[in-house]
């Protein structure tokens, strides 16, 4: 599994570096300032812009962004830069004991009656309001299973190519909320949703799991217009990993590993039938945080 995940991560990273990426559902050139600048033949304009902005974020550019507004003179700005370089050259920064220490959500409780506690309760009530059968509707329909209830609308509507991505968000949100509140009703919904997704994956039988058919990935690999299928898959994978790491549900990890095996095979099939360049070309599309979720899975497995 680690070898599969590692290779898939490399292919995703290299693909994003190999082409100029635009977040649309049609493979065209990017219209960002970065692309315009790099493609411009106006040397004067390029020099002027480059002298004021970092197009590639760095530690130093981040420090410069923190420049206090009270600094008015160039001399004071230079002093600020000197301060940064002194800190940078001090070696490894060792914060004081207890400085910005991360603590588990389970150990944090909000003050009753505070605006934060009220907001948390509002979010909890919203998560409890959503119906598991409606969340699963398009997944079950795709798998050929009975579909009680009706699907949600908006981007989760049964005819929308992004359907299923909200379910990924729900998986993450419910896991985080449960860690903060230990609400038993929410735990029940989380468990039922993961079990329902597992049943869909088992019915399909290939490791594939989504609310839309694999045909969207056929179009993706053929460099034809499609609305970001990997963006949606990332949300589902990330949500399931949260259900495992935060919610403590091992069934969620099993679903994820089967999904990644499936997509690893898809990527390798494109490379073997065509070229790795063709794979990179297809990645000129919005793939969400696929790299991030694969890093997380690699660490876990």
Q: What are phi and psi of 255, to 5 degrees?
A: -60, -45
Distance from C-alpha of 69 to C-alpha of 208, rounded to nearest angstrom: 53
Residue 206 has phi, psi (to 5 degrees) of -115, -5
181-190 pLDDT tens trace: 999 999 999 9
Q: What letter does residue 106 receive in the DSSP assignment?
A: G
Mean per-residue pLDDT of the chain: 80
Give, in degrees to the nearest 5, the angle at Cα 169 between 200 and 32: 115
Q: How many CA atoms lie within 13 Å of 34's alpha carbon, on the beta-carbon side?
A: 9
Residue 146 parent element (H or E): none
| pLDDT band for position 199 (cuts 50, 70, 90) | very high
**CA separation for the pair 188, 185 (Å, rounded):** 5
Average pLDDT over residues 73-80: 61
Percent of the chain with pLDDT over 90: 50
pLDDT reported for residue 144 = 96
In this predicted structure, the answer to whether residue 28 has a pLDDT above a threshold of 80 is no
**Predicted pLDDT of residue 44:** 79
Query: To which H or E segment does residue 26 belong?
Result: none
22 pLDDT more than 60 = no
Which 3 state secondary structure label does DSSP give 268?
A: helix
Instruction: Please report how many Cα atoms fall inside a 13 Å half-sphere around the Cα of residue 111, on the Cβ side.
Output: 2
| Residue 133 to residue 243: CA distance in whole angstroms | 18
Cα torsion through 122, 124, 128, 130, rounded to 10: 70
Measured over all CA atoms, what is the biggest interatomic distance in the chain, rounded to whole angstroms?
71
Prediction pTM value: 0.69
Least confident range from 18-32, 52-66, 235-249, 270-284: namely: 18-32
Residue 4 pLDDT class (50, 70, 90 cuts): low
Model confidence at 19, pLDDT cuts 50, 70, 90, reads: very low
**What Å distances lie between residue 174 and 15, 120, 153, 189, 257, CA to CA?**
32, 12, 20, 9, 21
pLDDT band, very low/low/confident/very high, at 60 (cuts 50, 70, 90)? low
What does the pLDDT look like over 223-233, one tens digit per residue?
888 888 999 99
Q: Which strand (E) or helix (H) includes residue 103?
A: none
The pair phi, psi for residue 2, each rounded to 5°, is -60, -40
The reported pLDDT for the residue numbered 221 is: 86
Q: What integer is the mean pLDDT of 67-94?
A: 59
Instruction: Check whether 30 has a pLDDT greater than 50.
Output: no
- Answer for the pair 181, 173: CB distance below 8 angstroms, yes or no: no
Per-residue pLDDT tens digits for 206-216:
999 999 999 99
Of 31-45, 119-133, 163-177, 235-249, where does mean pLDDT reach its minimum? 31-45
Which of 70 and 245 is assigned the larger pLDDT? 245
For residue 112, give every residue at least 6 positions away whose Cβ sits within 8 Å of its Cβ, in sequence order, or none.
none
- Parse the chain into domains and list their residue ranges: 2-29+113-300
Higher-confidence position of 70 and 224: 224
The yes-or-no verdict on residue 86 having pLDDT over 50 is yes
């Amino acid at each position: 599994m680690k070898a599969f995940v590692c290779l898939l991560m490399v292919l995703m990273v290299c693909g994003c570096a190999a082409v100029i990426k635009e977040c649309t559902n049609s493979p065209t050139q990017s219209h960002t300032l970065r692309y315009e600048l790099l493609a411009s033949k106006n040397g004067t304009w390029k020099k002027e812009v480059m002298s004021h902005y970092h197009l590639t974020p760095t530690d130093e550019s981040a420090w410069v962004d923190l420049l206090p507004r009270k600094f008015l003179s160039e001399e004071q700005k230079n002093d600020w830069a000197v301060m940064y370089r002194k800190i940078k050259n001090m070696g490894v920064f060792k914060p004081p004991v207890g400085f910005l220490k991360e603590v588990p959500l389970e150990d944090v409780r909000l003050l009753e009656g505070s605006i934060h506690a009220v907001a948390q309760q509002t979010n909890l009530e919203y998560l409890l309001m959503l119906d598991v059968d409606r969340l699963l509707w398009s997944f079950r329909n795709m798998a050929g299973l009975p579909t009680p209830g009706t699907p949600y609308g908006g981007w989760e509507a049964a005819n929308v190519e992004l359907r299923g991505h909200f379910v990924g968000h729900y998986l993450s949100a419910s896991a985080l909320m449960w860690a903060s509140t230990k609400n038993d009703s929410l735990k029940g919904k989380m468990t039922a949703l993961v079990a329902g997704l597992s049943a869909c994956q088992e019915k399909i039988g290939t490791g594939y799991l989504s609310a839309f058919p694999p045909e969207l990935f056929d179009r993706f690999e053929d460099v034809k217009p499609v609305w970001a299928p990997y963006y949606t898959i990332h949300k589902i994978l990330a949500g399931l990993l949260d259900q495992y790491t935060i919610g403590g549900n091992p069934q969620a990890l099993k679903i994820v590993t089967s999904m990644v095996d499936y997509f690893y095979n898809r990527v390798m099939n494109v490379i073997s039938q065509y070229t790795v360049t063709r794979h990179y070309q297809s990645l000129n599309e919005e793939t969400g945080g696929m790299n991030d979720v694969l890093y997380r899975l690699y660490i876990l497995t």
